Amino acid sequence: MGKKRLISGVVATAEAVRLADVDVITSFPIRPYTGIMSELARMVADGELDAEFIHADGEHAQLSIVYGASAAGARTFTGSSGVGVTYAMEVYSPISGARLPVHMAIADRTLDPPGDFGSEHTEAESCRDQCWIQGWAATPQEALDLTLLYYRIGEDPRVLLPQYACQDGYFVSHIAGEVEIPDEGQVKEFLPPYKNKHSLNISDPMIIGAQIEPEMGPPLQYQRYIAIQEARKVIAEAYKEFGEIFGRKYSPFVEEYMTDDAEVVIFIQGAHSVTARNVALKLRNHGEKVGVVQLRTLRPFPTEIVRDVLSRFKAVGAVDNSVNYGIAGDGGVLLSEARTALYGLGDKTKTVGFVGGLGGEVITMEEFYKMYAKLKEIAKTGKVERDSYWLPYEL
């Protein structure tokens, strides 16, 4: 059994990186993820972690460095926030294309403008289709656990894909929560050493990333397409074994809260799901049949599970903490994905989008009460007046 500490998401993430015995770390400062790197720099300086710590010349350089280091056979760590995440965009596809299990922590921040420090999922979601495993932690404990889980999943020889382990800026990254730090022995049991037989090794020379003819592109892309689909199986396995070794059992794809006889649910990911749960609990005490469905893995999207779960309810409100200008339904990624998952089942389950918490604002309990009231109305009348509501202006 590990020991319990009261720490923030960034410190919890750094603890996981230390436990994973990472070889190459590369940093560049941008709030709020910076705290992870400060903590890792301290660990390296104090001799608690033996790793090369490289101060990169930007986020694009960070991702370039871990691309090279991972190809050479090292376990790597990097991270960013906000515009830093989008600045590195060029390098995400080469990393997944070379099947390198690079690990990147993202502590969310708005893009510019507005350029405030607040948290939004926009930057991380804008990278969602680069063939990286991606999901959100809702608490500091989940941030630590997600880091270990993603190293294990990404480095599995059946997967070999990079991972974005996301946490909401400030709400998770900078608010302390109780975190159980596992023993090194437990981590060793769960996370075997990184071995990739496709690496830069002089005893077995190979070309990584050759230039290809147009007709050779589709087969390579098809392999990635299959790889991320197959990852679903490995994700489920890894979460199961994680529960057995560490004693914390998560549902790998969607976490249901008070949904047994629920008529309406909020569909949400990340830290605001904690507020949603509190509101659901209060409404339950007043006899309302409401629940929360928390999405844990955005990529690969658990289409069938989301379909099976959400189709049990009369109305689903997808809460998006991101801006997706001009998207179908004028909501966000979660609304679109939920509707796609439900497509073909008829009109039994009504869906509506709520865009909230922009600029790092709290999605208040009052706002969740309003969302549940709207969902109740939709469930009762069977009518969806509009696809989405942008909070607080439109609801």
Partner 1 sequence: MLETIKTLRDMPKEEYYVPGHRTCAGCGPALVYRLVAKAAGPNTIFVGPTGCMYVANTSYGCGPWAVPWIHAQITNGGGVASGIEAAYKAMMRKGKYTGERPHAIVMAGDGGSTDIGLQALSGMIYRGHDVLYICYDNESYANTGIQTSPTTPWGAVTTFTPSGPAVPEGKRLWPKDNAQMIAHGHPELKYLATASPAFPVDLFNKVRKGLNAEGPAYLHIQAPCPKGWQFPSNKTIEMAKLALDTGMFQLYELEDGKYKMSYMPKERKPVDEFLKLQGRFKHLKPEHIEKIQNFVDQKVKAIEIEIAALS
CB atoms within 10 A of CB 98: 17
Report, in Å, the least distance between residue 237 CB and partner 1: 26
Q: How far is the CB of 61 from partner 1 (least distance, A)?
A: 4
**Distance, CA of 83 to CA of 142 (rounded, Å):** 24
The structure tokens listed for 57 are: 């010349």
Nearer to partner 1, 55 or 249 (CB): 55
Looking at the Cβ atoms of 99 and 121, the one nearer to partner 1 is 99
Q: Of all helices (H) and strands (E), which one includes residue 231? A: helix 217-246
- Degrees to nearest 5, angle at CA 228 with 330 and 129: 30
Given the complex with partner 1, which of 115 and 209 has the nearer CB atom? 209
**Cα 236 from chain centre:** 15
Residue 91, both tokens: 């390098």
Give Cα 91 distance to the centre of its chain. Answer: 19
C-alpha closest to that of 161 among 12, 13, 300, 18: 300
Query: Whole-number minimum distance, CB 360 to partner 1, in Å?
Result: 30
> Least distance to partner 1 from the beta carbon of 299, Å?
23
Residue numbers of the site for partner 1 (CB under 8 A)? Answer: 21, 23-24, 26, 50-52, 54-58, 60-61, 64-74, 76, 90-91, 94, 98, 193, 200-203, 205-213, 216
If the CB atoms of residues 74 and 124 are measured against partner 1, the closer one turns out to be 74
Residues 6+ apart with CB under 8 A from 21: 49, 50, 75
Closest distance of CB 49 from partner 1, Å: 11
- Between 23 and 330, whose beta carbon lies closer to partner 1? 23
Q: Which is nearer to partner 1, 90 or 112 (CB)?
A: 90
Residue 300 — φ and ψ, nearest 5°? -70, 140
CA distances from residue 178 to 11, 44, 104, 106, 325 in whole angstroms, order as listed = 12, 24, 23, 21, 37
Smallest gap from residue 122 Cβ to partner 1 (A): 24
